[in-house]
């Protein structure tokens, strides 16, 4: 947070307290350079996230739908239910960075990008449903993407959080 008096970025929080019945937080800040004190408010940004379907119809983003799609693609595969939930939460985080809406295609590809690294067989099944594979060359194309994703994984291991 920049100091309103001298514009330096070096400011620190000296006091925080809940305001508006806990709906926001009020922070007193002090500038390290000129010692100016000022107040900031932190408030929850409640922007609904919409998914635009192929038909153009907007529907609310739903993590459960992603988890459902993942679990049917992952039957019999060594993936824990928590990993589905983590993946869905991660996709939601990325989607919110994109803005207030994403396309259903964007969501499908975001899921697939992450699933490729997690489990090859599940990724192939998910892709065949999601992309609507019509012949064997579609499977071959997806397989090469999966192989590329696993190379990336080997070079830069994703930390498990």
CB of 107: closest distance to Zn ion in angstroms? Answer: 44
What tokens were used for 71? 């679990």
Whole-angstrom distance, CA of residue 73 vs CA of residue 116: 12
* Nearer CB in complex with Zn ion: 31/112: 31
# residues contacting Zn ion (CB under 5 A): 7
Whole-angstrom distance, CA of residue 130 vs CA of residue 146: 15
CB of 39: closest distance to Zn ion in angstroms? Answer: 14
Q: Is residue 109 a contact residue for Zn ion (CB under 5 A)?
A: no
Whole-angstrom distance, CA of residue 90 vs CA of residue 128: 22
What is the contact mask toward Zn ion in residues 10 to 49, using x (rule: CB under 5 A)? ---------------------x-xx-x-------------
Q: Tell me the backbone φ, ψ of residue 48, rounded to 5 degrees.
A: -70, 140
**Binding site residues, Zn ion, CB under 5 A:** 3, 5-6, 31, 33-34, 36
């Amino acid at each position: 947070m920049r100091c309103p008096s001298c514009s330096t970025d070096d400011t620190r929080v000296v006091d925080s307290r809940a305001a508006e019945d806990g709906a926001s937080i009020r922070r007193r800040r002090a500038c390290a350079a000129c010692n100016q004190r000022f107040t900031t408010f932190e408030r929850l940004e409640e922007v609904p996230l919409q998914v635009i379907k192929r038909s153009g119809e907007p529907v609310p983003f739903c993590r459960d739908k992603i988890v459902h799609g993942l679990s049917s693609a992952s039957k019999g595969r060594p993936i824990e239910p928590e990993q589905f939930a983590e993946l869905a939460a991660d996709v939601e985080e990325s989607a919110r960075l994109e803005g207030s809406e994403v396309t259903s295609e964007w969501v499908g590809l975001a899921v697939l990008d992450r699933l490729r690294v997690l489990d090859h067989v599940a990724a192939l099944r998910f892709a065949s449903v999601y992309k609507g594979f019509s012949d064997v060359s579609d499977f071959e194309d997806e397989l090469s993407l999966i192989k590329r994703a696993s190379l990336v994984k080997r070079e830069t291991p994703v930390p498990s959080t």
